[in-house]
Each structure stands twice: as C-alpha cells, then as structure tokens.
C-alpha cells in the first residue's frame, strides 16, 4: 500500500502537467502599454513562461500561462502582501490575445509588442 500512494501521486502530477496548454513562444517579447489613460507600463514575457512587469506605481515578477486566446499573469510573492503593494495588480491579470496586441479590457489598454532588436556587429 505504501508503494501505491507515491505511484498514484506521480501519475496524478504527470497528468496535470501534460494537460496544461503549451505556451505560444511567439508571444514572448517586450510590450508597452498604450491606450490606458495616464498610465505607463511595460511587460516582458519570456519563452520559459516567466514575466516581468512594471507600472507607474508597482512592479512584479512571476510566470504566465496561456489558455486559448487568454494570457494570465501569476505573480511570485515571497512575503505577505500589504495594501500599498501596487505590484499585486499583476497577479491574476488576464490579457486577451489580439492581433498585434495583448488587451486589458478593464483599462481599455493594450500591450503592443516592441519590434525585435537587430544584432549589432
């Protein structure tokens, strides 16, 4: 019986891992927020599923996941979150994937992907 429980846990974890949707690596890149009134923000999506984000009043790091045409940010926190920690705005933020835009419908804003930089020789 003791051998069956670890085996069951292993199988359960592998099933959960394989059922998650693969990240669209084309979404990785550096984005700038446009269209949101009086707010500046940048978003960096990495190929490995991690992100960094900053707004005028807060910053965050964590990972991102994709489900269909929705991209969700999941912030890492190492300590209890306080009321004045404005970086928490990124935790659970849902961005809708549109052509040339990651839309934040609640703010009428859109993260526009910056052009890729060319290597300087």
Give the Cα-Cα-Cα angle 68, 104, 109 (nearest 5 degrees). Answer: 140
pLDDT digits (tens, 9 = 90+) for 43-64: 999 999 999 998 887 888 999 9
Q: Name beta bridge partners: 96.
A: 70, 103
Whose CA is closest to 103, among 28, 40, 33, 13? 33
Mean pLDDT of the chain: 76
Domain boundaries in the chain?
Answer: 22-113
Mean pLDDT on 4-10: 30
Whose CA is closest to 105, among 90, 94, 92, 89? 94
Q: Name beta bridge partners: 67.
A: 70
- Does CATH number 2.40.128 belong to domain 22-113? yes
pLDDT at 79: 64
pTM, two decimals, is: 0.64
CA distances from 3 to 7, 8, 9, 12 (A): 7, 9, 10, 15
């Amino acid at each position: 019986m003791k051998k069956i429980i670890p085996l069951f846990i292993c199988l359960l974890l592998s099933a959960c891992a394989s059922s998650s949707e693969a990240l669209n690596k084309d979404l990785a890149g550096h984005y700038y927020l446009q269209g949101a009134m009086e707010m500046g923000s940048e978003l960096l999506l990495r190929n490995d599923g991690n992100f960094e984000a900053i707004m005028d009043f807060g910053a965050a790091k964590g990972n991102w996941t994709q489900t269909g045409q929705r991209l969700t940010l999941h912030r890492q926190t190492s300590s209890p979150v306080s009321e004045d920690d404005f970086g928490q705005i990124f935790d659970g933020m849902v961005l809708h994937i549109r052509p040339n835009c990651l839309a934040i419908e609640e703010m009428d804003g859109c993260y526009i992907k910056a052009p890729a930089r060319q290597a300087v020789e």
